[in-house]
Structure 1
């Protein structure tokens, strides 16, 4: 008949029965008929397989929540200092921000609400963080931080340092408070100061490259006492280098680089210790001179080496002359030695003669070829 209204509710659906636009009850799966000649009955069919209620009258239903509606709906009412964790079939599926109110169908899909308080701690439990990471929503509702080994993490809440973090994985709720986290590297780091144009005490212009090694010993001080500790150490190395070079002449710099390293190290170490940074070593890598100064130094070195060569030559000549004099004295005192010298001279002469005619025997050779006046 025309006055009979029939409604079919599927297995994955639920219906809300309205009479005169007022909610009467929730309809389970099945076929329903009503005698409605005046069109006063209306049924809104919803997909209950999707747990979250999608109707536009959610606020009305939450206001009328009673025992009967509680059989079909779960009211998720999250306080202003709480985070709601919605579990479906025992698995975390959604996160509700503080102050959120939502309705969920709970007949087809088992739905559970867990509340996490923000009053005590903002840290997300590891199992919850892992599940949110799987869902791809962790960074939307929390601040995630991985602190590697040989590092330290710093947690800031509303601009205040509240905690130092050991190596590990962390996540913190980012609701109603400004949460930020940083990682400070505690390993030894190298710092290069290159191309510094400086003047020595004797007004010689040169360029110096400097290298330093450092590490953070107090991450809290390194982060809170100075904006960027790396930039600060770099500037102090520049100042220490300028101060040390200006106090020495060029010869002192080139002759003793170790003292220059020690002066820079002592200056910088005293300036950065209170910032939680330890300077382990400082070393001058290169001292670069202008082209004209290189030519001058090369000339100086050549002159010094030439003078040293002359001194050595004169010393050797004097030694040779002294040796000849000693030999002459020995020959004068020993006729046999003089005869041996004559034979040596004869041997050297005969080496250069291709043909030799001898008259008068060996005595003639000795007397005619080699004659030594007494």
Structure 2
């Protein structure tokens, strides 16, 4: 008919009828005829394969449909202290923020909305965490905390410590409250204090490099009792090094390095004892002297070594003289020993002579060359 309008709604569609721009009814799939002689009826068709209702009059629809709303839509009305989890065909697909209101078409897609109360805690369930990470939504709605092995995670809610986390993956809803996460490394770490310009007790200027090994034993204390434990430890190592070096002369520093390390270690360990940080060891790596002081020390060392060599030489000469005196006393008391020494002397003489002429036989040689008492 001329005044009748024909409207076709497909299986994956729904139609909303508006007369004079006011909602009238919902059209199910099929062929519909409407009497509209003055062209005052508008039919808006929606594809319900994307179940989220995209119109701007959701509140008007909720008010006009009343008790029939549940037949056409899934109505998600999330409270101010709730988070909505939207499931499609049993799989989590979206998150609704606190206070959100949304309509989902019924029929083609099975949509369910689960409300999660924030009053029961801000921790995200492990299954929800994994799914949101797959969808790429996790960082948008939650604070993510990945705690590696040999580390501890600290979670603060509005500035107050909520809990300490062991190794693993965690997430906390980032709604209404300020959530801050901090990961504390519990492994042994090295701290270097380099190029410290210091004065010894005898006013010698030098530079010292120091190394220390530390680890965090109480992550809560290390995070809450000092603003930044690493910076505080570095300053205490500086102070300890200056304090100990100032009480020693240059000779004491160079001669007893182990005592220097022990005194610095004792000072620093006492200063950080209540901060959740344990100092495992402290060692002075390098003591660097200015050029003129190196020259002076080299001269001193050379003089000391020369004096030591002179003392050793004199001592050996005295020992040799003492040995000769003892030998002479033995020879004086023993004629036979004297005779043996004479023969040894004769043997040495003959080794250096090519030809030897003997008169009177061997006895003549012995008697004429060597005379016995």
- 2:313 maps to 1:301: no
Distance (whole Å) between structure 1 residues aligned to residue 134 and residue 112 of structure 2: 19
Matches within 5 A, 1:16-31: 16-31=16-31
Instruction: State the shift of 1:145 in Å.
Output: 0.2
3-state DSSP class of the match of 2:272? helix
Match of 2:231 in 1: 231
Which range moves more in the overlay, 9-18 or 199-208? Answer: 9-18
Post-superposition Cα deviations, 1:6-30, rounded to whole Å, max 9, x if no partner, equal 1121221111122333323211222
Q: Could you list the runs of 5+ residues in structure 1 that have no partner in the other structure?
A: none
Question: Cα distance 1:348–1:65, how it changes in 2: closer, same or farther (>3 A)?
Answer: farther
Instruction: State the shift of 1:372 in Å.
Output: 6.3
Which range moves more in the overlay, 67-76 or 160-169? Answer: 160-169
Match of 1:105 in 2: 105
CA contact (8 A) 2:62 2:69 kept: no
3-state DSSP class of the match of 1:274? coil
CA contact (8 A) 2:83 2:115 kept: yes
CA contact (8 A) 2:201 2:248 kept: yes
- 2:13 maps to 1:13: yes
Distance (whole Å) between structure 1 residues aligned to residue 197 and residue 65 of structure 2: 79
Question: Cα distance 1:366–1:63, how it changes in 2: closer, same or farther (>3 A)?
Answer: farther
Distance (whole Å) between structure 2 residues aligned to residue 3 and residue 365 of structure 1: 169
Distance (whole Å) between structure 1 residues aligned to residue 260 and residue 286 of structure 2: 12
Match of 1:157 in 2: 157
3-state DSSP class of the match of 2:296? helix
Match of 1:37 in 2: 37
Distance (whole Å) between structure 2 residues aligned to residue 209 and residue 372 of structure 1: 77
Which range moves more in the overlay, 210-219 or 200-209? Answer: 210-219
Instruction: State the shift of 1:113 in Å.
Output: 0.7
Match of 1:135 in 2: 135
Distance (whole Å) between structure 1 residues aligned to residue 174 and residue 88 of structure 2: 23
Instruction: State the shift of 1:65 in Å.
Output: 3.8
Q: Could you list the runs of 5+ residues in structure 2 that have no partner in the other structure?
A: none
Post-superposition Cα deviations, 1:147-173, rounded to whole Å, max 9, x if no partner, equal 122221111112222222222211000
Instruction: State the shift of 1:186 in Å.
Output: 1.7
Match of 1:199 in 2: 199
